[in-house]
Structure 1
Amino acid sequence: MKTLKITGLAIALLAGISACQQADDFLEPKTSALDETLVFQDSLRTMAFVNRIYGDIGFSFNKGRWSSHGNSEQATDDAEYKYSGVGQTAVILYSGTLSPLNFPFGEYWSLPYANIRRVNLLLTKLSSTPLSPALQRRVTAEVRFLRAYYYYNLLTVFGGVPLIGDKVFEINDFIDLPRNSYQECVDYVVSELDAAAQVLPSVAQYSEENYGRATRGACLALKSRMLLYAASPLFNGSAETQNATLASIVSYPTYQASHWQRAADAAEAVIASGQYSLMEDNTTADGYGFYQVFLKRVNPEYIFFQNRPANRDMEGFYNMPTRGGQNNSYPTHSLVQSFPMKNGKAITDPTSGYDPTKPYDNRDPRLGYSIVFNESLYFLPSANALRPVYTYEGAPSDGYTYSGQMTGYFARKMCDVNVSANSSFTTERGWPLLRYAEILLNYAEAITEAGKPELAYPKLIALRKRAGITPGADQLYGLKANMTQAEMRELIRNERRIELAFEDHRWNDIRRWKIAMSVNNGFNTRIRIVRSGTNYTYEVTNSIRRHNFRPEMYLLPIPDGEIRKMPASLQNPGW
């Protein structure tokens, strides 16, 4: 007789349509009840089940992930959270008050496993569905990609996790699974992606109604990210525990430089495919392609994305009060300072031309497309035109408040300057989950760490050229010639910060590089702007809430309930 012992993981693994009622929320109205037979004997319902697995792919990127207004970006040095209540999920993350017992981030663990279970259930039923053999083969590859994608999310947060293969657990199953080693998990994800890539079409081979489904390129791109993360300091042989078994669960047993070359090769495979390119337009305006890429669902740069209907997603989340937005996430001054000048030189370079009395003049065009700073233009419905946004201290509605969470900036990244939250307009937009710019940065980072920083130059030049940075006499777009590995490493990390800002990367990056203790363990910085007539003075101040990052937070704890009910799974170091 099987013991009935349901853990949180078990509940996730039992998700899907194992019970009649569980199908209702994603296949049919609440008044109907479908069992597995009814779902999988119908082609439309079968494809609806597949689409349900796709439905959660943006869960980590989702700007309203926690309480409709929180996200991990607000637990980094890139953004300040509008709210400061100690019970807010994002506050718990950035203040470091989380623990295995206080872990309000349940979807980190349960949501991927729920979808892994859905994939496994579908695979057991697919051959008996009315889908054609060709479609069955393609769908099998699609969901194997999606399963790998959900495992990637687990590995990034927790290290090695239980691999369940194709197993479909039932309600009476006793589930007490050990965690697989990190290497086993990475090898599994990569093998699944390789297998799916052999079957899936390229993006150009899909019909219009299938646009947005997993492609061969998506498999290669996710493999690039997975191997880059695996090669990084957090996972490449640096487990901070004396328990040898646990050490192999949370990282590779020993450091191997070859992991970096493997990651570079994976990124190069995406580049060599010729399927993707940067969206470049420096004719309309400098760096205009960087701005437009986030406003076009169909573009050459998106590799994998969450398709969205016409919307005001980003405007509602980021816009300032005068434009009707929730302004949930304020960019930090340190993020603003990380953008170079238009000539590509860092603002700390005395030859850059940076003027601290005019701090936003002649900067990298990506700054203006990512950040609303004082006197930035943005659509105002009452004027039906672009009007300045004033963020100086005391400015009506949008002005800096010394005692508040405001930083003197609002976010513009991925927003349409001609659409405000309080307007009736919408934008054609998908959420970027994997895009080509990231692949170029993946390659540059990996090849640099593999000991060949000179090979990173062409990829960085391509990104800076698209950004609207001027080439300079040496055609290096502000890059120093003959950089050492250490110099190139720091430049790439900064380039990644500004190119991928607010795209669900910074929290993962500062952890995998193991720099969070230094960059995210203190007060974020703000800019206090004081107006006197037509002149402004600028003062850098600290945020009002301290970020606390502890060493054990490089990997989050598995919720206590999981460990107590599945003693075969070891807890992460320090928890």
Structure 2
Amino acid sequence: MKRLLYILGFIVFSFGCNDILEIEDINHYSPELVWGDENLANAYMANLYGMFGNWDTGADRTSQQIAGITWYADRITISNGDYKDWNYNRIRLINQAIVDVNGGGLDQELKDNITGQALFMRAFTYFNMVMYHGGVPYVKVPQDRYEDDLFVARNTTAECFDFLIEDLDQAISLLPESISSGSGDYGKVDASFALAFKAKVLLYKASPQFNPSNPWENSYWTEAQTANKAAYESLSALGYGLEDMYSDIALDEGNRETVFSVINSYPNKSANWDFGVRPGSESRGPASACPTWEYIKEFPMLDGKLYNDPTGQYYMTDAEFLQNYWKNRDPRFDQSIVWNGKVYEVSGKSGKRQYTSLGIAHELDDFGVNPNAGINSTNLDRYTGFFILKNSMLDLTQPEVQQYDVDYVLMRFAEVMLNYAETSNETGDMTTAKNILKEIRERAGILPGVDGNYGIVATTRESMREAILAERNIEFAFEGHRFWDLRRLRMLDRLDGQTKHGVEAIAIDENGTEISLSVGRQLASSYSLTEKNFKYQVLQVPRSGVQSSVLPENYYFFPIQKAVLDRNKQMEQNVGWGGTFDPTLE
């Protein structure tokens, strides 16, 4: 039943509408027919749901989580299309729906529901534009796609936030409170998602990104706290909460942690997650996303503290940690990362271990420069010696990797919780913030410790802020949050100038002496080599080309593309990009 939304849009609109309406796509249709027929009206809306995206293996390449240098010098300019969000074609279609549905012959309940969905979609689209660029023209009426071409000036950023909240409040009033996973409407926007998203919008409004001169004491934090508390309490009362097992947050589709997900259903709709994260020998090509050594080090130990914290139960020096990095870790590490020698029963292969050691591993999986191999790995510029396990469907065989159809979780309750923790901390309620972190860590499987604090030692607003940020970095591993969190907190300097590294594994005997590669291959063929049968060394990745990130100060707001400015003389460019428009709230 939960597949109905996507299938309806695919079958009715893609096949049926050409015959019924004699149109080719959503840009050419008869309003009288569409908005007078429930199936066609739902099909129109279903085609807009593509705006919510799908799984993206490289979403965190913009941070230190994933290998690859995204931020090379002049990556963003006013002329290129990189990091520009200016989707007024979608806005026109949404505005058309809001106007036309209310003039059609549908019953009022359906009209209200479609209007609520469209208002949310409008706010969602505009929020991303504001997050990128600051204030934009907040157009609320359908414009002619050929004549008007958006010849209007930008609204201020403050006006845009006001309009966002106005649209979201109206959407909340029109949408059903919550849609269960067993409903035929599962996959549609409901009031719970809208309420949680409104809270996120207000978190951004209060953030240092929009308030650089007064990042932590501005009045918007109180407004954000009120909204995030309301979202947390409302969703909790409706039964939302943390899934019991961290490894099940996506794979157990429709669980109570899912606030909103994009429905995937093979063969009609699938995603490239397993195709992109698996080692090449178990996929249809090389992995496109590999965790970095920097990120491996950021996962806590089992006691919730970092490996190099002298007060931790599992303290190790850097040298000790390199040779034992898989031991006594936060259980989320084991559930998120594949490392050399780990048991990795991919493609249903019982007892299989994954190897990355050059000369021992499959050539599509190896990483290293071991001279005994006689040749360097061909993966040195893209691999790290680690792969992603999180959200992988291990039972898919190699030929089936492109059949991955796990629903894409766009927002889950853990985000609602951590957003609430952040606003609580910034408004003086550190107790609530700490309790939320403890709950997140308890679910993860971190030990509570004798003090019951799960390794949390924050005692000031500043240290709690850092604790929340660190928790988000681990809890949302590979979900595409990290760069945007650092950006809204004006902490991009933590990425600027940074390099990335991987870890090479070299097989050794019990005395620490390197063994022959032929012996290593024989042992590996029966999965007899474990993690401890290797020594490890750090290698920078990539090893050629651009090797460090460049993130200048003006990346806190991206520019309006020059082509847009050339078409519309009323449009101002952002400060920092040669213009006079202030994209902040100051």
Q: TM-score by structure 2 length?
A: 0.81
In 1, are the aligned partners of 2:208 and 2:215 still within 8 Å (CA)? Answer: no
Alignment-mate amino acid for residue 224 of structure 1:
A
How many angstroms apart in 2 are the aligned matches of 1:312 and 1:177? 38
Q: How does 1:131-210 map to 2 (within 5 A)?
A: 131-173=106-148, 175-204=150-179, 208-210=183-185
How many angstroms apart in 2 are the aligned matches of 1:269 and 1:217? 11
**What is the Cα deviation at residue 46 of structure 1?**
1.5
Q: TM-score by structure 1 length?
A: 0.82
Deviates more, 1:260-269 or 1:490-499: 260-269
How many angstroms apart in 2 are the aligned matches of 1:205 and 1:330? 35
Q: Structure 2 vs 1, CA of residues 260 and 542 (structure 1 numbering), >3 Å: closer, same or farther?
A: farther
**What is the Cα deviation at residue 185 of structure 1?**
0.9
Show the counterpart of 1:572.
574
Extract unaligned runs of 5+ from structure 1: 1-22, 65-70, 85-90, 239-252, 282-288
Show the counterpart of 1:54.
49
Q: Structure 2 vs 1, CA of residues 320 and 436 (structure 1 numbering), >3 Å: closer, same or farther?
A: same
Show the counterpart of 2:512.
none
Match of 2:229 among 251, 268, 271: 268
In 1, are the aligned partners of 2:232 and 2:420 still within 8 Å (CA)? Answer: no
Extract unaligned runs of 5+ from structure 2: 1-11, 24-28, 370-379, 510-531, 578-586
**What is the Cα deviation at residue 204 of structure 1?**
4.5
Deviates more, 1:425-434 or 1:547-556: 425-434
Show the counterpart of 1:541.
539
Deviation string, structure 1 residues 13-62 (Cα, Å, up to 9, x no partner): xxxxxxxxxx987973599424333333332212111111112212xx54
Confirm whether residue 38 of structure 1 aligns to residue 33 of structure 2. Answer: yes
In 2, are the aligned partners of 1:229 and 1:512 still within 8 Å (CA)? Answer: yes
Show the counterpart of 1:15.
none
In 1, are the aligned partners of 2:243 and 2:257 still within 8 Å (CA)? Answer: no
Show the counterpart of 2:76.
98
Deviates more, 1:152-161 or 1:536-545: 536-545
Equivalent residue of 2:335, what SS? helix
Q: Structure 2 vs 1, CA of residues 465 and 559 (structure 1 numbering), >3 Å: closer, same or farther?
A: same
Deviates more, 1:179-188 or 1:40-49: 40-49
**What is the Cα deviation at residue 549 of structure 1?**
1.2
Confirm whether residue 473 of structure 1 aligns to residue 450 of structure 2. Answer: yes
Show the counterpart of 1:248.
none
In 2, are the aligned partners of 1:258 and 1:450 still within 8 Å (CA)? Answer: no
Confirm whether residue 377 of structure 1 aligns to residue 343 of structure 2. Answer: yes
In 1, are the aligned partners of 2:13 and 2:40 still within 8 Å (CA)? Answer: no
In 2, are the aligned partners of 1:236 and 1:256 still within 8 Å (CA)? Answer: no
**What is the Cα deviation at residue 463 of structure 1?**
0.5
Deviates more, 1:422-431 or 1:454-463: 422-431
Q: Which has the larger radius of gyration?
A: 2
Alignment-mate amino acid for residue 299 of structure 1:
N
In 1, are the aligned partners of 2:242 and 2:413 still within 8 Å (CA)? Answer: no
Equivalent residue of 1:446, what SS? helix
Equivalent residue of 1:224, what SS? helix
How many angstroms apart in 1 are the aligned matches of 2:350 and 2:271? 18
How many angstroms apart in 1 are the aligned matches of 2:60 and 2:225? 26
How many angstroms apart in 1 are the aligned matches of 2:420 and 2:293? 28
In 1, are the aligned partners of 2:59 and 2:479 still within 8 Å (CA)? Answer: no
In 2, are the aligned partners of 1:96 and 1:547 still within 8 Å (CA)? Answer: no
Q: Structure 2 vs 1, CA of residues 340 and 254 (structure 1 numbering), >3 Å: closer, same or farther?
A: closer
Show the counterpart of 1:392.
357
Confirm whether residue 320 of structure 1 aligns to residue 279 of structure 2. Answer: yes
In 2, are the aligned partners of 1:96 and 1:550 still within 8 Å (CA)? Answer: no
Q: Structure 2 vs 1, CA of residues 433 and 25 (structure 1 numbering), >3 Å: closer, same or farther?
A: same
**What is the Cα deviation at residue 256 of structure 1?**
4.7
Equivalent residue of 1:495, what SS? helix
Alignment-mate amino acid for residue 571 of structure 2:
S
Match of 1:74 among 36, 49, 61: 61
In 2, are the aligned partners of 1:160 and 1:179 still within 8 Å (CA)? Answer: yes
How many angstroms apart in 1 are the aligned matches of 2:413 and 2:170? 22
Alignment-mate amino acid for residue 100 of structure 1:
I
Alignment-mate amino acid for residue 525 of structure 1:
H
Q: Structure 2 vs 1, CA of residues 175 and 519 (structure 1 numbering), >3 Å: closer, same or farther?
A: closer
How many angstroms apart in 1 are the aligned matches of 2:15 and 2:130? 27
How many angstroms apart in 1 are the aligned matches of 2:203 and 2:126? 15
**What is the Cα deviation at residue 518 of structure 1?**
2.6
Show the counterpart of 1:303.
259
Alignment-mate amino acid for residue 369 of structure 1:
Q
Deviates more, 1:329-338 or 1:127-136: 127-136
Confirm whether residue 338 of structure 1 aligns to residue 298 of structure 2. Answer: yes
In 1, are the aligned partners of 2:116 and 2:175 still within 8 Å (CA)? Answer: yes
**What is the Cα deviation at residue 512 of structure 1?**
1.0
**What is the Cα deviation at residue 140 of structure 1?**
0.8
Match of 1:368 among 334, 339, 358: 334
**Count of paired positions:** 510
Deviation string, structure 1 residues 258-284 (Cα, Å, up to 9, x no partner): 222222222211221122433443xxx
Deviation string, structure 1 residues 424-481 (Cα, Å, up to 9, x no partner): 796662111111001111111122122332321111111011111111222111112x
Equivalent residue of 2:345, what SS? strand
Deviation string, structure 1 residues 108-162 (Cα, Å, up to 9, x no partner): 322xx22221111012211232321111111111111111111111111111111
